Amino acid sequence: MIKKTAPEQPLSDKKSVLPDSVPLFVDLDGTLIKTDLLIESAFFLLKKQPWMLLVMLYWLAFGRARLKQEIALRAVVDFDVLPLQKEFVEFLKNEAMQGRTLYLATASDRSLAEPVAKRLGIFKQVLASDGHSNLKGTRKLEAILNCCNHSAFDYAGNARVDLAIWAKARRAIIVNPDLGVMTAVRKRRYGVEKVFDDRPSRTKTWLHAIRPHQWAKNLLLGVPVLTAHAFNFSAITQIALAFLAFGLVASATYVFNDLLGRVSDRHHPRKCKRPFASGNIDLASGILGMLVLFGAGFGLAAQLSDYFLFTLLAYQVLTISYSFYFKQIVLIDVLLLAALYTIRIVAGAYAIEVPMSSWLPGFSMFIFLSMALVKRCAELITLQHVATKNRKCRGYQVSDYPILSAMGVASGYLSIGVLALFIGSPASIGKYTYPDLLWLLCPLMAYWVSRLWLKTARGEMHDDPLVFSLKDQASWIVLINMLMVTLVSI
């Protein structure tokens, strides 16, 4: 072992420890790339064939090396878009240009590690698992020592399992360290040459992943309070609990969707910055976080009515079906998105146990179908400005924009028609003290729908129209005026 606190070498010995003469061994998962190839490839298989989980457990019985090899043989990984630690990669390229020998040393299977090495073209050799030996921890250390003939070497890693290798290395390079790694390194006084960490704040990253701003969609749960005039403490408390339950489950769903869609997101100009696509949250942490959110959401829902719990479960089944299959089916995807919004309103009625007018789901389906089509049209406009050979988005083509926008505008105005029919119906006259005031809702809705589609046509729409509306001052003015009109009418 070469001690990191050794005094400066004599001048005659300095040549042997110059940076260019000491090979650098680089870990792959979590270090060179900001993800884990085993989990990436396992996700690929499970997304297509969930029953493969049982087969994976069988392979694991023969060892982790066998598991990695079998998964690697069947998985298709898009190596060109794997998220790199860019600052660290630039450092490695500079070292290679100066003549330093670099090795890729990883516990991933060789068939997955070699394409990554080939992509960068800076590594002399790849040390990797091969189906018989799992090159991790002490086994990786043995392979490194054999490769460099037990002479001095440097090592770049990120995990606690790398501590055993840093203990024998001349210098340690730490890249995006796992929790507790830096504390352990400082405690053991390893010679740290450089630390690379390009990850944003963990809190900020998780907030990005669970998207609490998207919980605003769950305000739809409170619509039955307004339409049923249930302005009492009990109803509002129930809606607040329902809002939290839906929010937790929705956040778990966003994490789930981002885990599944991380590969396609890496090809998107904006979605590539999402936490799982960019590698700022590792996949294992994402899975754990998703399970915790699901458990908390459904646990809270169980405290409300059985109908509410059943509706939340139905919402989740539809959401998962959308993520796995219907997302790629043209038109079915937008219809399902509209249904998912409408289900929130139904769930709110069940939470406070009030009957729901048949006019409400009719209005809801049309307005949210329009918003879903806004989302698709905004994505197509984004693709229109991106140079790509395959200019498609979830089965839609850029050339579909005119017909989709026409359908969306028509759907938005149909929702206003349903609203107008409700205002003129006996149900409205019987429920409101001043029902004629409700006619003011129609021009307000017409303005908002028209503005939404005008912004979309100009390419000024966010990927999500709800996010746009939350940041749009005009949308807030329309919403406040609609609430005031409704309350005064009551």
Pairing mode, strands 24-26 and 192-196:
unpaired
CA-based radius of gyration for the chain: 28
Residue-wise pLDDT tens digits, 325-353: 787 888 898 999 899 989 999 998 898 88
Query: Of 201-205, 272-276, 384-388, which range is least confident?
Result: 384-388
Cα separation, 33 vs 175, in Å, equals 10
Class of domain 202-489 as given by CATH? mainly alpha
Assign 127 a pLDDT band (cuts: 50, 70, 90): very high
Output the CA–CA distances (angstroms, integers) from residue 309 to 222, 323, 342, 348, 350, in the order listed.
16, 21, 16, 11, 9
Write out the H or E segment, with its range, that includes residue 427.
helix 426-431
- pLDDT exceeds cutoff 60 at 80: yes
Cα separation, 392 vs 382, in Å, equals 11
H helix runs in 110-222, sequence order: 110-120, 138-147, 163-166, 181-188, 202-210
Give me the pLDDT at residue 125, please.
94
Tokens for 369? 């179908």
> Quick check: 192 and 163 in contact, CB under 8 A?
no
What is the mean pLDDT of the segment spanning 245-267? 88
Identify the bridge partners of residue 125 per DSSP, sorted by sequence position.
Answer: 103
Assign 357 a pLDDT band (cuts: 50, 70, 90): confident
Residue-wise pLDDT tens digits, 428-460: 777 778 888 889 999 999 999 999 999 999 888
Task: Give the mean pLDDT of the chain.
Answer: 86
> Quick check: 342 and 365 in contact, CB under 8 A?
yes
User: Regarding predicted confidence, which is higher, 395 or 96?
Assistant: 96
- pLDDT exceeds cutoff 70 at 297: yes
Residue-wise pLDDT tens digits, 116-126: 999 999 999 99
Residue-wise pLDDT tens digits, 13-57: 434 444 458 999 999 999 999 999 998 899 888 878 888 989 999
Residue-wise pLDDT tens digits, 201-240: 888 999 999 989 888 888 889 888 887 777 788 888 999 9
Tokens for 454? 């005008």
Output the CA–CA distances (angstroms, integers) from residue 482 to 360, 441, 447, 487, in the order listed.
16, 6, 12, 9
Give me the pLDDT at residue 46, please.
85
Give me the pLDDT at residue 265, please.
85
- pLDDT exceeds cutoff 50 at 5: no
Domain ranges of the chain: 16-196, 202-489
Give me the pLDDT at residue 391, please.
54
DSSP secondary structure letter of residue 122: -
Write out the H or E segment, with its range, that includes residue 94.
helix 86-97
Query: Of 15-19, 72-76, 313-317, 468-472, which range is least confident?
Result: 15-19
What is the mean pLDDT of the segment spanning 87-111? 93
Give me the pLDDT at residue 322, please.
85
- pLDDT exceeds cutoff 60 at 9: no
What is the mean pLDDT of the segment spanning 130-149? 92
3-state secondary structure of 426: helix
Q: Give residue 468's identity as a one-letter amino acid code.
A: F
What is the mean pLDDT of the segment spanning 357-372? 88
> Of all residues in the chain, what percent carry a pLDDT higher than 90?
46
Cα separation, 444 vs 416, in Å, equals 10
DSSP secondary structure letter of residue 108: E
What is the mean pLDDT of the segment spanning 272-300? 91
Cα separation, 215 vs 395, in Å, equals 28
Assign 360 a pLDDT band (cuts: 50, 70, 90): confident
Residue-wise pLDDT tens digits, 391-434: 556 677 888 889 999 999 999 999 999 989 888 878 777 777 88
Q: Which of 417, 342, 327 is nearest to 376 (CA)?
A: 327
What is the mean pLDDT of the segment spanning 256-281? 86
Instruction: Provide the residue count of the chain.
Output: 490
> Quick check: 257 and 41 in contact, CB under 8 A?
no
Output the CA–CA distances (angstroms, integers) from residue 141 to 131, 144, 212, 456, in the order listed.
18, 5, 44, 56
Cα separation, 188 vs 180, in Å, equals 12
- pLDDT exceeds cutoff 70 at 2: no
CATH code assigned to 16-196: 3.40.50.1000
Give me the pLDDT at residue 47, please.
79
Cα separation, 241 vs 309, in Å, equals 12
Q: What is the pTM (predicted TM-score) of this model?
A: 0.73
